[in-house]
Amino acid sequence: MEKLELKHLAPYLPYNIECSIYSEMYPSPKLVGINGLFVYLNYHGTYLSFELEKIRPILHPLSDLTKDESFELFCKEQITCANLKIIEVPTEFIDDKLIVINVLGGDNVALSYDNEILSECPLLFYEWMIEHHYDVYNLIGNELAIDINSL
């Protein structure tokens, strides 16, 4: 079984991600710092410290990506997202190509550019998804994070 690691939480640090600490007294405190094996959280001005394995980040599964968020993420392109209609937007910056997002099941996503599957996902996609609290490490699938829709 995988363990939650510093590398999983560190990218979310600047974005006030909420976490579960399994306490009714402090529901969903926000991540404010990490130091080795300890995580620092803030709940309305009360600062808390927990061991890394005692918390679970609260994240969106990739399947939560909405039409509006797709537009924000791929605003220079035509987009097809699983079960969504094509959104037509200016394409002068990307050679009139088509980006398609296919949700393959669970949290698996395939991106294609002009009908060729991309072997690498551009960094800006990951940065945007982390900023918007999406689970890019499959932590929900590995039971290391909580699906925000289950709360």
Looking at the structure of the chain, the number of domains it has is 2
On whether residue 1 sits in a domain, the answer given is no
In sequence order, what are the residues at sequence separation of 6 or more whose Cβ sits closer than 8 angstroms to the Cβ of residue 111?
99, 100, 101, 102, 117, 118, 121, 125
pTM beyond 0.95, yes or no: no
Q: Does 17 reside within a domain?
A: yes
Among residues 143, 146, 142, 124, the alpha carbon closest in space to that of 19 is found at 146
- 117 and 74 co-located in one domain: yes
Q: What's the pLDDT tens digit per position in 11-60?
A: 999 999 999 998 889 999 999 999 988 999 999 999 999 999 999 999 99
Q: What's residue 90's pLDDT?
A: 34
Whether residues 70 and 40 fall in one domain: no
Indicate whether 105 and 145 sit together in one domain.
no
Contact 67, 87 (CB under 8 A): yes
Q: Establish if 36 belongs to a structural domain.
A: yes
Please give the distance of CA 78 from its chain centroid, rounded to a whole number: 22
Give the residue numbers spanning the domain of 17: 6-60+137-150
**59, containing H or E segment:** strand 56-59
- Residues 109, 142, single domain; the answer is no
Query: Do 74 and 121 share a domain, yes or no?
Result: yes
**In this structure, are 66 and 48 located in the same domain?**
no
Q: How far from each other are the two terminal CA atoms of the chain, in whole angstroms?
A: 24
Q: Which phi and psi (to 5°) does residue 24 adopt?
A: -75, -20
What is the DSSP secondary structure assignment for residue 22, as one 8-state letter?
Answer: S
Indicate whether 94 and 142 sit together in one domain.
no
Residues 68 and 102 in one domain: yes
Distance between CA atoms of residues 36 and 88, nearest Å: 46
pLDDT at residue 93 greater than cutoff 70? no
